[in-house]
Amino acid sequence: MIDEAGARQRVEAELARWRQTPGYPDVVIDTVTEHRRAWVVTYGTPDFLAGRDMRDRLVGATPFVVDRRTGTVRTYGSGQNNLFRGWLDDATPEERRALFEDDATVLVGRRVTGVQYWDIHDFGQGKGPWDHGSWHHAVMGVGLDTDEGPVAVT
């Protein structure tokens, strides 16, 4: 079985490979979360981790998943985060819905002051203003500016 230190070590090795790519931003480990099947390791740029400003966030930075049994390191797409998190602990559909509800509770009591749309068209150009009316296809997510600071919704 792979412990937390082993998961960190494997992800650091992967990040070291990423850093060898010319022009690739510096990224560091943020959190390591234990689940029954795997360790989930999030990462970000040092600027984002220091200030949590959405303008410093990597687009599509889905976590690494380190299989606790084999030590295999994987990355997945950003599309169905709550379904994936439910798989980690064999969650029922109701439990997966609860994961989404838990994520949404961060918005309770906040006033939304602006919306920034993150999509593949923003790659390399930063975030763009919301100009899609009531329509949204959550490819990457939405950054909400609130009276208590920015919040990402994916």
CATH code of the domain in which 69 resides: 3.10.450
Determine which helix (DSSP H) or strand (DSSP E) holds 108, and give its type and residue range. Answer: none
- Type of residue numbered 10: R
**Of the candidates 88, 76, 89, 71, which has an alpha carbon nearest to the alpha carbon of residue 7?**
71
Residue at 66 is within a domain:
yes
Strand order through the sheet with 73-75: 28-34, 38-44, 64-67, 73-75
- pLDDT bucket at 14, cuts 50 / 70 / 90: very high
Domain membership flag for residue 103: no
Q: How confident is the model at residue 120 (pLDDT cuts 50, 70, 90)?
A: very low
Q: Give the global pTM.
A: 0.58
Q: What is the pLDDT of residue 122?
A: 44
Contact by Cβ (8 Å): 67, 87: no
pLDDT digits (tens, 9 = 90+) for 41-100: 989 889 988 988 877 778 777 788 898 889 989 877 665 555 566 667 666 777 667 766
Residue 147 confidence (pLDDT) above 70: yes
pLDDT at 10: 97
* Residue 92 belongs to some domain of the structure: no
Domain count, the chain: 2
pLDDT over 70 at 8, yes or no? yes
68 in the same domain as 118: no
Residues 69 and 117 in one domain: no
Q: What is the pLDDT of residues 129-146, one digit of tens each?
A: 555 555 555 555 667 888
Q: How far is CA 137 from the centre of its chain?
A: 17
* φ, ψ at 37 (rounded to 5°): -95, -25
Contact in structure between 44 and 27 (CB atoms under 8 Å) = yes
Domain that holds residue 60: 4-77
- The CA angle 87-13-69, to the nearest 5 degrees, is 35
